Amino acid sequence: MMPKIAIGCDHAGYDYKESLKKWLISNGYEVKDFGTHSKESADYPDFAHPVASSVESKEFELGVLICGSANGVAIVANKHQDVRAAICWNEELASLARHHNNANIVCLPARFISYDLAEKITDRFLHESFEGGRHERRVSKISC
């Protein structure tokens, strides 16, 4: 069964979000778009919080957040309990975020990666899983 995906962005990530959303749906994923819905300047917390809340509540299994650097959306998302948002700018980081950190939101830096790479990173993130074992002990120490 395909995981349900929450997606959101600010204005800097809008084009990537729209393309990723179409790509995800065409690959059979159920996707909910939490905005933004235009290229007009927008505040990333307004979209990162709802995506993170939907993952935190387990309404959605995984999330994708996009902003210019990925830092802002990652900082916001990681304020939520049981959310582990990882900034990924290559496929290997996406794999490690899932394998070792049990990350459940991938954060993409739209101003620093191509759209094609964003798609590859997202694909890798969605197809990898947590290794558990020694990593379980570490992940269990994250929440405050």
What domains, with CATH codes, occur in the chain? 5-139 (3.40.1400.10)
In this predicted structure, what is the pLDDT of residue 2?
85
36-91: per-residue pLDDT in tens?
A: 999 999 999 999 999 999 999 999 999 999 999 999 999 999 999 999 999 999 99
Task: Round to whole Å and give the CA distance between 104 and 52.
Answer: 9
- The per-residue DSSP string of 65-91 comes to EEESSSHHHHHHHTTSTT--EEE-SSH
In this predicted structure, what is the pLDDT of residue 142?
87
Q: Is 88 a catalytic residue?
A: no
Task: Single out the catalytic residue among 11, 80, 88, 100.
Answer: 100
In this predicted structure, what is the pLDDT of residue 62?
98
Beta strand 62-67 with 105-109: parallel, antiparallel or unpaired?
parallel
Residue 98: pLDDT band (50, 70, 90) is very high
In this predicted structure, what is the pLDDT of residue 131?
76
Task: Round to whole Å and give the CA distance between 144 and 132.
Answer: 20
115-141: per-residue pLDDT in tens?
A: 999 999 999 999 999 878 889 889 898
Task: Single out the catalytic residue among 9, 67, 88, 107.
Answer: 67
Task: Round to whole Å and give the CA distance between 87 and 121.
Answer: 10
Look at residue 30 and tell me whether its pLDDT is greater than 90: yes
CA angle 34, 7, 76 (to 5 degrees): 80
Q: Is 100 a catalytic residue?
A: yes
Look at residue 1 and tell me whether its pLDDT is greater than 80: no
| Amino acid in the structure at residue 111 | R
From the list 72, 32, 69, the residue with the least C-alpha distance to 53 is: 32
The mean pLDDT of the chain is: 96
